[in-house]
Amino acid sequence: MTRLRRSVLICPGNNARMVAKAATLPADEVVLDLEDAVAADEDTHRRARVELASLLESIDFGARSVAVRINGVGGALALQDLLELVPRVGSRISSLVVPKVSHPSEVGFVEHCLDALEQPGSPRLGLEIQIEDAAGLEAVSELAASSSRLQALIFGPGDFAASMGMPQVAIGTPAEGYPGDVWHYPLFRIAVAARARGLQVIDGPYALLGDPSGLESACRRAAALGVDGKWAIHPDQLATINSAFTPSPAQVARARDVLGALGARGGASRLGQEMVDEANRRMAEMVLARSRGDEE
């Protein structure tokens, strides 16, 4: 089943105050981070894992999906994340987020570890993978087909910009001097690969917290491409993100009109100044499913 992921709030997995607050906020998914939000030394990560596990055992996240972002599989920290967290709290989360994925073998490594570590009878953990560099984007079709555990592909604009040598000043923001949307190609390329395999596609964060209009524009552009949702790095961003990735009342009304015009007969029908057919039916049904927040 596909989980609703309009808004995905990421917070440090070892920050008790932030994690407790995240469990009360209107985010569809909360990601507890062990990668970029935690200092890189091994001792800090060991303490962070212990704290994160304790928080997962003590906090009720309600209907929200909960995921943990482990470290990249290129280093030893990822293996320790898996060894220590999956047996203890794997049943308390829905998925793992794997960062900086550029080759199917990295997904295979995590999958094999999960096969060995999951407790008998516990729910099968899903995977969400981040596409964050040129190699990952080049391999995105292979990555989308790399595991039956995959639930979503996530675009990481910050590391992607660094990988490409782009002179960005803030993560996910427009590129100064570029005449269009600099993120259109990578995001849409990821979206196509995701949809071809029945996966969700999630846009990365918009880092300028004092720019609500910029955030809304970024959300609307992503939603226009069929993207399911966007990462949030602050609670103040959640309302804007949820709104942008939920069909508007006008879109819902139009979808109902289309279905009403087509009725049970199918085929082609006239609706005002437009001819609608079975393709319009599928589009309308998608709009209504998203408006209800239905699991597909």
CA distances from 4 to 59, 62, 150, 200, 202 (A): 21, 14, 15, 9, 11
**Sequence-ordered list of residues with C-beta below 8 angstroms from that of 70, at least 6 positions apart, any chain:** 34, 35, 77, 78, 81, 82, 85, 96, 97, 98, 99, 110
- Summarised one tens digit per residue, pLDDT across range 63-104 is 999 999 999 998 889 999 999 999 999 999 999 999 999 999
Classify the C-alpha dihedral 86-63-56-143 as positive or negative.
positive
CB-side exposure of 16: number of CA atoms within 13 Å? 7
Domain with residue 180: its CATH number is 3.20.20.60
Say if CB 245 and CB 228 are below 8 A apart. yes
Q: Strand 126-131 to strand 150-155: parallel, antiparallel, or no bridges (unpaired)? A: parallel
How many domains, the chain?
2
Q: Is residue 228 one of the residues assigned to a domain? A: yes
My answer on whether 88 and 210 are in the same domain is: yes
My answer on whether 157 and 278 are in the same domain is: no
Q: Is residue 73 one of the residues assigned to a domain? A: yes
My answer on whether 55 and 190 are in the same domain is: yes
My answer on whether 109 and 229 are in the same domain is: yes
Q: Is residue 262 one of the residues assigned to a domain? A: yes
State which of 214, 230, 246 marks the end of a domain.
246
* Structural domain for 231, as ranges: 7-246
Using CB atoms within 10 Å of the CB of residue 180, give its burial: 0 to 12 exposed, 13 to 18 middle, 19+ buried: exposed
My answer on whether 131 and 261 are in the same domain is: no
**Which pLDDT score, from 0 to 100, does residue 290 have?**
80
My answer on whether 235 and 257 are in the same domain is: no
**Which pLDDT score, from 0 to 100, does residue 265 have?**
66
My answer on whether 138 and 280 are in the same domain is: no
Say if CB 20 and CB 53 are below 8 A apart. no
Q: Which two tokens stand for residue 266?
A: 């199918």
Strand partners, 69: 33, 97
Q: Is residue 225 one of the residues assigned to a domain? A: yes
Using CB atoms within 10 Å of the CB of residue 295, give its burial: 0 to 12 exposed, 13 to 18 middle, 19+ buried: exposed
My answer on whether 27 and 104 are in the same domain is: yes
**Which pLDDT score, from 0 to 100, does residue 292 have?**
67
Q: Is residue 118 one of the residues assigned to a domain? A: yes
- Summarised one tens digit per residue, pLDDT across range 164-207 is 999 988 999 999 889 999 999 999 999 999 999 999 999 999 99
**Which pLDDT score, from 0 to 100, does residue 288 have?**
85
My answer on whether 257 and 161 are in the same domain is: no
**Residue spans of the chain under pLDDT 70:** 1-2, 264-265, 292-296
Distance between CA atoms of residues 254 and 289, nearest Å: 14
Distance between CA atoms of residues 255 and 249, nearest Å: 10
**Which pLDDT score, from 0 to 100, does residue 293 have?**
55
* pTM for the full predicted model: 0.92
My answer on whether 220 and 281 are in the same domain is: no
Q: Is residue 182 one of the residues assigned to a domain? A: yes
Q: Is residue 1 one of the residues assigned to a domain? A: no
My answer on whether 278 and 138 are in the same domain is: no
My answer on whether 116 and 242 are in the same domain is: yes
